[in-house]
Amino acid sequence: MAEAMLPAELAEVTNPLQPGDELLTAEELADLSLFAALKKTPSFARFPGTTVLRKCKAGRVLVRQGESGATAFSILSTEDVIQLRELQLLKLREVLEAKEERRDPRGLHQHFELVSVKDLRVLEEQISDELVELRKQRKQYHDDDTPPVERHVSTAYLLLNDGVKQKVGFFKRMMLGVSSQKDRPEFISIDGPSDINSKTRQAPLHESELFGEMSCLNRAPRSATVVATRDCYMIEMLRNVLDMLHNDPEYQKKMDEVYRERVLDGQVRRLPLFQDLPDAEFAAIRERIQLVNYEAGTVVFEERDEADSFYVVRSGLVKVVRNSWTLLRAVEFKPDNWKNVWKELKEAAEDPVGALVWAKMPASVQEAAQGTPGEADQAALLAAFDSLIRTGDLHLELGRTTTEVVASIDSPQVATDCRDFPLGTKKWAEIEIRTFHRSLLEWVLPLGMPRRAATSGSRRILRYMGRGDFFGELGVITDSPRSATVFAYDHPDGGANQRLPDSRTGAVPSRCELIKMSKEDFLGLVEKSKKLKSRLNKIVAQYKEQAASAMTEEAEQINVRSQSPEFEQLGLIQGQKLMLIDLDRCTRCNQCVDACVASHDDGRTRLYLDGPRFEKFLVPLSCRSCLDPVCMIGCPVGSINRGDSGEIQIRDWCIGCAMCADQCPYGSIQMSALPGELELSASQQAILGDSDVKAVNDIAVVCDLCGTLPSAQPSCVYACPHDAAKRVNALEFFFKT
């Protein structure tokens, strides 16, 4: 049944066919429960060669950790395979009958028609024998009452190189804050339905489950090595098939049910907040937890919104941004603002662009603008403005491209805000639409509208969050407005050197799936658990301390100013802790590099005195602590994140895939060889056998701004005898206000 060669589309991104693997016909694929249950049955005849059936013997390695991947896998249930083989056997016998009666068998089955009668008889016997074994297996499952989602058929392994032993004394360990395996979380998220247990470094995979979605969607490296633990069958598919599944409401409903049955309890209950929660208390709200989806670029909530829910990322990515709010608040409007905004709104109707804004105002607001507005009219006006900001479509009316829109509005602020938007206005994400309409209102109503840029401070990406991460808890706990804007990841911020995947090119997930818990349910859990309340009190205390230290930063007024093409091309504006070497002072003594090596017990430097020049400064290859840390996008195992001081950290479960190093536009992350060999446990060795496993021989290394030192000050700067080395906030240093 297997063909000798895979179709070109599949052959480019997956392994060759092995004995037992086969390409299924359109009819066979459509009969599988995975596709048969869809609301709209797919036409596989239009997508030939996009799937392959893998017959996996126990011990077969499906994917290897760290390798590139572009396909997803669905594990077939035993019932599915029986149905498939019965269909094939029926068709095979029809072809046999036609051949023996010397009739033309064309159209009966494309795989069997050119096979000789003798070979067909052999194949008939093989399928019959296979069906006998499958039916025995099904009977055993039915006798044991084991549903497909509990039939363990393969295992995902996280293979780490622990050959790096910290050979430092107790005192130095205490001083340097050397991390150990104890710092690892109990579970590590991977590209599968279950998380890896950090102690066993394993996660089970069951019949009817899907894995490898993130690799398929954004070409992320495989996050684990997956090995069949018993004979099983898997459908390997390209992205167009996976998208077809995700876009089907019936499939999504089924996946939501499976998620609630098998994953939700474990994923939510394992969060640090809920680890000690009794089963009965969690069960009381289990069914009230919502599973919600957000298209790429859609705002989950905006900074200053009311905190009404707590969220956990189920799949996809969210981006957390500070100083990116767009909606208006009455407190921003002074008496002069109110006086001018009504006058300017009335006059706007005489301007071509202003007339578009006027036309979007409800009749009650237009009527108030013609008379003497009162307090009730002010509230109605704010509501109308916010509605325009949230859902307006003026960008579509002003042009088909961003260039046309900017050209129609003579505003440097609008041009700056739209600088990183996609060319076509129909491709603007919600966060971009909101930003544009707020900026447009400020241009149309220059005296009446408060200036967002003058009060917000510089836009700062705090982090990216992936599967298993949670957010929104602080606002709920402290009963305070949201402190940042969160939206489904769409694309990175601008920068000429950034060539990163985005949803517009189809290279990242087109949506994000979240778990949502209401404020009432969340606080209800807190009230029932003393341990949870105690843990939250510590989080709140830490939050207040961080908020107090950030007040100065939040109060800064930063004017939008034009930047030189060179400054923008080098991406210097990204640097919150940009390393600069004053070449007029530097004597090339190399003490900054020596101090970097001495400050880290692994003997690896995080500073390389090479890089571009800007004015009198060398910009060396060292982490900038970027406003938009795109290095954090897509880590298969979530080992890269921000520390408490904003520094980039790479934790010790890094699998050496180099994705973060490839993503960094500035060459600040280096791959460093690890000593020793990859050591497998006895159980892993027994299962993997002599399989060609991709070893973890490298680890990503990045400057952590010496955050583990007691002083938390960069040693490279401290050690410079000529005051040539410095760490600066690029926006403040080059554009002081």
pLDDT tens track for 384-432: 999 999 999 999 999 999 999 999 998 888 998 888 788 899 888 888 8
The 8-class DSSP code of residue 572 comes to G
Which of these CATH numbers, 2.130.10.10, 1.20.58.2240, 2.60.120.10, 3.40.50.720, describes 267-323+458-555?
A: 2.60.120.10
Backbone angles phi, psi at 266, to 5 degrees: -65, -45
The domain ranges of the chain are 8-156+189-249, 267-323+458-555, 330-456, 565-734
The CA distance from 606 to 604, in Å, is 7
The CA distance from 529 to 284, in Å, is 14
Please give the structure tokens belonging to residue 563.
Answer: 């930047």
The CA distance from 560 to 558, in Å, is 7
The 8-class DSSP code of residue 621 comes to B
Residues 155 and 226: beta-carbon distance below 8 Å: yes
pLDDT confidence of residue 183: 61
The widest CA-to-CA distance across the chain, in whole angstroms, is 96
Residues 18 and 62: beta-carbon distance below 8 Å: no
As its CATH architecture, domain 8-156+189-249 has Sandwich (2.60)
The 8-class DSSP code of residue 668 comes to -
Residue 205 bridge partners (DSSP): 154
* Residue from 518, 514, 509 nearest 297 by CA: 509
Q: 3-class secondary structure for 480-524?
A: CCCCCEEEECCCCCCCCCCCCCCHHHCCCCCEEEEEEEEHHHHHH
CB proximity list for 165: less than 8 A, separation 6 or greater: none
Residue 32 bridge partners (DSSP): none
End-to-end CA distance of the chain: 72
pLDDT confidence of residue 81: 94
pLDDT tens track for 271-293: 766 777 777 777 777 778 888 98
The CA distance from 352 to 369, in Å, is 18
Q: How many CA atoms lie within 13 A of 425 on its CB side?
A: 19
Helix (H) or strand (E) holding 716: helix 715-719
Residue 321 bridge partners (DSSP): 461, 485
pLDDT confidence of residue 402: 94
pTM: 0.68
Residue 371 bridge partners (DSSP): none
Q: What is the dihedral of CA 113, 117, 119, 124, to 10 degrees?
A: 90
Residues 70 and 13: beta-carbon distance below 8 Å: yes
pLDDT confidence of residue 326: 92
The CA distance from 627 to 323, in Å, is 11
CB proximity list for 544: less than 8 A, separation 6 or greater: none
Please give the structure tokens belonging to residue 355.
Answer: 């007339």
Angle between helices 363-370 and 375-391 (to 10 degrees): 130
pLDDT confidence of residue 174: 34
| Amino acid making up residue 402 | T
Helix, strand, coil tally for the chain in percent (to 5):
40, 15, 45
* Residue from 483, 460, 461 nearest 472 by CA: 483
Backbone angles phi, psi at 177, to 5 degrees: 65, 40
Please give the structure tokens belonging to residue 681.
Answer: 């446990």
The 8-class DSSP code of residue 608 comes to B
The CA distance from 542 to 717, in Å, is 28
Please give the structure tokens belonging to residue 674.
Answer: 């690890």
The 8-class DSSP code of residue 263 comes to I
Residues 120 and 173: beta-carbon distance below 8 Å: no
Residues 89 and 131: beta-carbon distance below 8 Å: yes
Strands 640-642 and 648-650: antiparallel
Asked, colleague to colleague, whether 8-156+189-249 and 267-323+458-555 share their fold, the answer is yes
- Ranges in the chain, pLDDT < 50: 1-3, 164-182, 494-509, 549-563, 737
The CA distance from 194 to 183, in Å, is 21
CB atoms within 10 A of CB 459: 17
The CA distance from 380 to 375, in Å, is 9
The CA distance from 450 to 635, in Å, is 40
Q: Where are the beta strands (DSSP E) in 181-254?
A: 187-188, 196-197, 202-206, 210-211, 225-228, 232-237
**Cα 301 to the chain's mean position, in Å?**
17
Burial of residue 78 (number of CB atoms within 10 Å: 0-12, 13-18, 19+): buried
**Cα 248 to the chain's mean position, in Å?**
22
Residues 631 and 465: beta-carbon distance below 8 Å: no
| Amino acid making up residue 532 | L
pLDDT confidence of residue 510: 58
**Cα 124 to the chain's mean position, in Å?**
47
Residues 671 and 700: beta-carbon distance below 8 Å: yes
Task: Name the CA radius of gyration of the chain, rounded.
Answer: 30
